[in-house]
Structure 1
Amino acid sequence: MNKIFTLLLTCFIFSNYVTAQLMTYKFQQSITGIENEWHQIKLPPTIYQHLKPNFADIRIYGLTENDTIEVPYLIKEVKEQSNFKNINFKVINSTKNKRGYYYTFELNQLQSINQIQLSFANDNFDFNSSLSGSNDQREWFTILENQKLIGIKNEYVNFNYTILNFKQAKYKYFRLNIQSPTPPILQNSSITISEKPMEVLDTYKVNTTRQTSNTKSKSSTILLTIKDKVPTSSILLQISDKIDFYRNYQLSYLTDSVVTPKETIYNYQLIKQGVIHSFAKEAIRFSPVIAQQFKIEIFNQDNQALTIESAQVQGPPTYLVARFNQIANYKLVYGNKAAQSPAYDIAYYTEKIPEMTTSLILGEVVNIQHKEKPKVTPLFESNNWLYFILSIIIAGLAWFSIKMLRNSK
């Protein structure tokens, strides 16, 4: 009997503790669509501005008639990765004619490829190339045309762009043609198939783009702002200039700002330094950061500033993979600066969590109402009472002092 009573008392205390914990958070969203034990929840863009940097203040609570339960979860961050598989091949032909230099690659077996990486011994070159495919070396089909292969090497720059990217092509033979007045010295080559993951990055609309140029520092500054503060990992600039260019840049994101009587000071954190060029349309990729505003500084040297027509910001989505054991009214709560990262048992057996889980639906954001502590009213709210009492005390001390002086005489 005592054991049952102790058990019930423990459950009662724990339930009240969890309920009290729920009230320490600022926001909640209802969760619907629960049908299985394991599900995933995609965090919406509006949530990140209210979270701690390490996401420690996220909880999932289930409310029943008699109890409040806490749901264990793990954070799943999607990373953009490509899996490259090398394809075995051999160079069976290397010739030249009036139309340039030709290299023929033969695959060991018929299969699809979408990338050829080349390496040249030349220091400085600007080759124009094309790529064709064939299964019998008689009829050739065009895969790429007018593809630039660039090499720049001097005391300031050491840059190479010698990769051919194309849609998957399935041929037994591939023929590379390079048009160049000087002989290309092909050192090495590799053929690969790139398999991108199923997960895609979220795309965020750039609300404002502001570009300024500084003739003194020979640089341009581009400010990009998106709607919400979200995880980001990629920025693609749409440059309208039709000329060839090669410029160094540095990318930063806004961390905070300080308002002074004269101005507002914006603090930026450097993310990446690199080169933007016209040889290929490539996004600036970096390790994920939670940000809303970016600053890109392009160093033009003695060249005319580039015109940024538009920009696209992308970032990896974040999921919660959670286990639901019983029927309840479940809620996602967050926004608690004092919260610590939870410790759940499921972190020790991740291999038992299904790879494919269905997504749940989050309701609208609701502010959790907190009861205000009753205000303790002081005995005397007005300072006039204090001045009045002090005046009486001072007058009393003066009267006793005068009386003592008279008595001493």
Structure 2
Amino acid sequence: MRASNLIVLLLIFMCSITLSRAQWHDYQYIRPLTDVTGQWHAIKLPKDIYGKVTNDLEDIRIIGINEKDTFEIPFLIDRPKTEKKEVAFDIINKTSNAAGFYYTFSLKGDTVINHLSLRFQLTNFDWKVKLEGGNGLDEWYTILDDYRILSIKNNVTDYRFTELRFPEARFRYFRLFIPGKREPELESAVLAKNEALKKAYDLYDEIILNTVIDKDKKQTLLTLDLANPGRISYLKFDVEDDIDYYRPFIVKYLEDSIHTEKGWKYRYRSVYQGTLSSLGERKFFFPAQTTQKLQVSVTNFDNQPLTITSIEAGGEVKKLLARFNGPGEYYLVYGNRKARKGSYDIENFRSNIPSDITKLSLGEEKKIMKAVAQPPSPLFENPIWLWAVMLVIIALLVLFSMRMLKSK
């Protein structure tokens, strides 16, 4: 081996040590993971972490340390799903009388349903329908009565509520009654059993709600201020009015703010549009956004503004599913705006992850200290080390030179 090659190898070794030490120094926060006893574990992300990570959670990593190495642990974010099992059926009767119109659905096989979705060619209606079930066509049992469905379409709004939700029912036949003299023109129907895997939500309690009525724009402007940044994907409105209503609304989140001589100027970005209605639950779900301030604008048209006493805000609980690598110390690190999403093999094998895995505890958060920028210092501040390295290099050069002379 030539002396020049040996010197190059020494330099490469020294650089590799420096890089390995700085590998996680680009992250701002670290938390220890305790009670790692098996291969698979779950980690619930706390609410206070979301203001310190990117909105898409790409800068979260799990690192492990043992006697030999520092390594990265593969993980993925758990995604609960809602299963919708549609049921095959035939419409065997379409009849009418002076009271209204009947549609009879015959199910193929013995099954349970809890959902009926309807679509009509008519665009403006307001009906109170009745749904019945039976195992024959001569005796019917009431499932829903005076259940309101409606559709409103004009220049300012387009709203439909045509889904029937009810407790699980098992019948061979289902009959829908729609009152009225005008044919509903049923275009399609979907009978299904919805098996929703309940998602858990973190609620943000310390919310300041400010309400402003803009009479000129005929709007109610609601501003939600959170005590700390949160990851919001759910709002629930508490409306005091006991009347029928439907009001379009827009949800915006604070994207940026600028301080000027006249005070703060806020820039919002829209994240959701919906309709606040007296029908059904006033819960709304939308893509999660990390923010500390939300704005909701409700259009009142020519109606009196609604009395909205409170708004509940929450975000879906996020859980990491991680595969660990034996004994060692493990840490959760995060807070690196330049980081990209980790790419792991287990993302392609979700079905192989055990369903019953234990949860890990997160330790106290600590900030990763950054080295203060200083002028470059010599590689060896102690001159004795410098002379020692020089003597070693000179001895190696003499040794290789003598070997080359002897070989000639």
Alignment of 1:279-298 (within 5 A): 279-298=279-298
**Change over 3 Å in CA distance of 1:225–1:137 after alignment to 2:** farther
Q: Distance in 2 between matches of 1:123 and 1:53?
A: 39
Q: Distance in 1 between matches of 2:27 and 2:102?
A: 67
Aligned counterpart, 1:246: 246
Aligned counterpart, 2:391: none
Question: How many Å apart are 1:361 and its aligned residue?
Answer: 1.4
Runs (5+) with no aligned partner, structure 1: 1-5, 377-409
The yes-or-no answer on 1:354 pairing with 2:358 is no
Aligned counterpart, 2:399: none
CA contact under 8 A between 2:133 and 2:175: conserved in structure 1?
yes
Question: How many Å apart are 1:118 and its aligned residue?
Answer: 1.9
Aligned counterpart, 1:406: none
Aligned counterpart, 1:317: 317
Aligned counterpart, 1:153: 153
Under a length normalisation based on structure 2, what TM-score does the superposition of the two structures give?
A: 0.78
Question: How many Å apart are 1:251 and its aligned residue?
Answer: 1.3
- Give the AA of the match of 2:213: S
- Give the AA of the match of 1:120: F
Q: Distance in 2 between matches of 1:185 and 1:55?
A: 47
Aligned counterpart, 1:112: 112
Q: Distance in 2 between matches of 1:67 and 1:10?
A: 19
Matched residue of 2:23: which SS?
helix
CA contact under 8 A between 2:98 and 2:181: conserved in structure 1?
no
**Change over 3 Å in CA distance of 1:99–1:164 after alignment to 2:** same
Q: Distance in 2 between matches of 1:348 and 1:104?
A: 45
Q: Distance in 2 between matches of 1:342 and 1:304?
A: 48
- Give the AA of the match of 1:126: D
Question: How many Å apart are 1:107 and its aligned residue?
Answer: 1.1
CA deviation map 1:116-140 (0-9, x unaligned): 1223333422111121222234543
CA contact under 8 A between 1:210 and 1:223: conserved in structure 2?
yes
Taking only the aligned residue pairs, the percentage that are identical comes to: 30
Q: Distance in 1 between matches of 2:347 and 2:309?
A: 49
Aligned counterpart, 1:400: none
Matched residue of 1:129: which SS?
strand
Question: How many Å apart are 1:98 and its aligned residue?
Answer: 5.9
Q: Distance in 1 between matches of 2:77 and 2:262?
A: 44
**Change over 3 Å in CA distance of 1:28–1:148 after alignment to 2:** same
- What count of residue pairs does the alignment treat as equivalent? 368
CA contact under 8 A between 2:117 and 2:190: conserved in structure 1?
yes
CA deviation map 1:59-94 (0-9, x unaligned): 323334x44512232342536x53322212223334
CA contact under 8 A between 2:254 and 2:267: conserved in structure 1?
yes
CA deviation map 1:301-333 (0-9, x unaligned): 211111112223333333333332131121212
Question: Which range moved further: 29-38 or 129-138?
Answer: 129-138
Q: Distance in 1 between matches of 2:157 and 2:297?
A: 18
Aligned counterpart, 2:305: 305
- Give the AA of the match of 2:75: L
Q: Distance in 2 between matches of 1:342 and 1:281?
A: 36
Alignment of 1:3-402 (within 5 A): 17-64=19-66, 66-76=67-77, 78=79, 81-97=81-97, 100-180=100-180, 182-197=182-197, 199-205=199-205, 207-337=207-337, 339-341=338-340, 346=345, 350=349, 354-356=353-355, 357-370=357-370, 372=372
CA deviation map 1:29-84 (0-9, x unaligned): 110121222323222111121123454433323334x44512232342536x5332
Rg comparison, structure with higher value = 1
CA contact under 8 A between 2:129 and 2:178: conserved in structure 1?
yes
Q: Distance in 2 between matches of 1:182 and 1:340?
A: 61
RMSD: 3.3
**Change over 3 Å in CA distance of 1:100–1:265 after alignment to 2:** same
Q: Distance in 2 between matches of 1:353 and 1:187?
A: 42
- Give the AA of the match of 2:353: P
Question: Which range moved further: 314-323 or 145-154?
Answer: 314-323
Q: Distance in 2 between matches of 1:56 and 1:281?
A: 33
Question: Which range moved further: 210-219 or 133-142?
Answer: 133-142
Question: Which range moved further: 155-164 or 197-206?
Answer: 197-206
CA contact under 8 A between 2:203 and 2:313: conserved in structure 1?
yes
Under a length normalisation based on structure 1, what TM-score does the superposition of the two structures give?
A: 0.78
Question: Which range moved further: 7-16 or 149-158?
Answer: 7-16
Question: How many Å apart are 1:111 and its aligned residue?
Answer: 1.0
- Give the AA of the match of 1:292: Q
